[in-house]
Every structure is written in C-alpha cells, then in structure tokens.
Amino acid sequence: MYKVIVRFKSPFNGVTRNLSVFNSLFSNTASSTPPPTQEEVESQEPNELQVKIDGLTKKVEEIDDKYKRALAETENMRLRMMKQIEDAKIFGIQGFCKDLLEVADVLQVAIKSVPRDQVKDEHFKSLLNGVEMMEKNLQTVFRRHGLNQINPLGAKFDPNEHHAMFEAVDESKEPGTVAVVTQIGYKLHGRTIRPAMVGVVKSTEKKDD
C-alpha cells in the first residue's frame, strides 16, 4: 500500500503538515470483508442442492406410500364387493328356498302317513304315486340349484348342521351319534339354512359296585 504525502507550509506558523489524502480510503477498503472465493461458492452450492434433494425425496416417498396404501384399500374393497355380488347371486334365493322347504315337508309327511302295503284302492294308489313323483321332482330341482338335504342318521353330531332336540339311550351306538332324525335339514351351496332336528345318543357310564 502506498501513501501519498503532500507537504506544504502553513501560512500562519510555517509548520509543515502531512496530509494523508488517500489513507482513509485504502484503510476502509482493507478492513471490509473480502468477497467469497470461487471455491467457497462451489462448496456451498452442492450442500444447498443436497438439502433440497433430500426434502423432495422424502416427499416423494410419502406420496408413494400413500398411493400404495390407497391402491391396496381399493383392491380390498373391490374384492369384497365381488364377494358380496357372488354371494348375492348364490344366496339370493335363500328366502325362497326356505319357503319351499315347508312344501317339501308337507309332501314327505303325506307320503309317510300312508302305508303303501295297505293301499287297496287303485285311485288312491295313483294319487299316492303322483305325490311321490312330485316330491322326487321337487328334490331334483332343489339339488339343481344347490339345495341339498341333511339327513345325519347314524352320523356324528355336528352343531353346525344339527340341532339336538333330546338325548336317547342306545347302547348299540357310540355316544354323540345321531340316533333319531325328527326333521331333515337343508344346505344351500354348503351353507346351512335349516339344521336337522335330531336326537343324540346319550353317554351311559357304568358305575363300579
């Protein structure tokens, strides 16, 4: 740094005074903060970009997670709706079937109430044959639409398909076995719409004397 010194004589006392004209200018410039170098600028820019990239990446991950969750919920809802539609197609006739079961019960009672070996009248025999054919055709229609009988005589008691009305003593059968069927049950496509009314063999434990 160069100093410009101007020497002059005072008209009053003749004392030479030194004036530093540019000293203050150069000193202020030297004391101010120097501008950042190119290396500092280049080192700061990647850090700021990385922060922005990290923030955007986090937002993208959050949006992607929400999208996948919404997609999964939509797929689950679609599957539930498809299941409900299929069930409606299959079991939509359940109420109608239950009403027809009463007709089938009446026909079966009518057939069982007449001993065939005691029927002598030909007209009555023809009528009985017609009732039997009607009952068989009705059962055929039931099976065609997935409605099947539950006749568990001699089978193990199943609370999902049978309704125990009473207990019976029968030493020839195992305890818990269906001994009597008072009313036949029905299933529609594997779903029990009317359980069979049964009597179950009672367990008889012999006491030692």
Residue ending a domain, among 100, 121, 145, is 145
Residue 38: the pLDDT is: 61
108 and 130 inside one domain: yes
Q: Is residue 168 part of a domain?
A: yes
Q: Is residue 160 part of a domain?
A: yes
82 and 112 inside one domain: no
Domain hosting residue 49, numbered range? 42-91
Residue ending a domain, among 145, 162, 189, is 145
Q: What is the CATH number of the domain that holds 160?
A: 2.30.22.10
Q: Is the dihedral of CA 70, 75, 81, 83 positive or negative?
A: negative
Q: pLDDT, tens digit, for every residue of 49-77?
A: 888 888 899 999 999 999 999 999 999 99
Residue 198 buriedness (CB in 10 A; 0-12 / 13-18 / 19+): buried
Residue ending a domain, among 54, 73, 91, is 91
Residue 201 β-bridge partners: 168
100 and 86 inside one domain: no
118 and 155 inside one domain: no
Q: pLDDT, tens digit, for every residue of 148-174?
A: 999 999 899 999 999 999 998 888 888
Output the 3-class SS for 72-111: HHHHHHHHHHHHHHHHHHHHCCHHHHHHHHHHHHHHHHHH
Q: pLDDT, tens digit, for every residue of 81-100?
A: 999 898 888 888 888 898 99
Residue 200: the pLDDT is: 94
Q: Is residue 131 part of a domain?
A: yes
106 and 137 inside one domain: yes
Q: Is residue 125 part of a domain?
A: yes
Q: Is residue 34 part of a domain?
A: no
Q: Is residue 18 part of a domain?
A: no
CA angle, residues 82, 86, 91, in degrees to nearest 5: 145
Q: Distance between the two ends of the chain, CA-based, in angstroms?
A: 131
Q: Is residue 207 part of a domain?
A: no
Residue with tokens 């089938």: 104
Q: In terms of pLDDT, which residue wins out, 46 or 55? A: 55
Is pTM beyond 0.85? Reply is no
Residue 51: the pLDDT is: 84
Q: Is residue 165 part of a domain?
A: yes
Q: How far is CA 31 from CA 3, 24, 28, 66, 81, in A?
A: 17, 11, 5, 56, 78
What's the domain count of the chain? 3
138 and 167 inside one domain: no
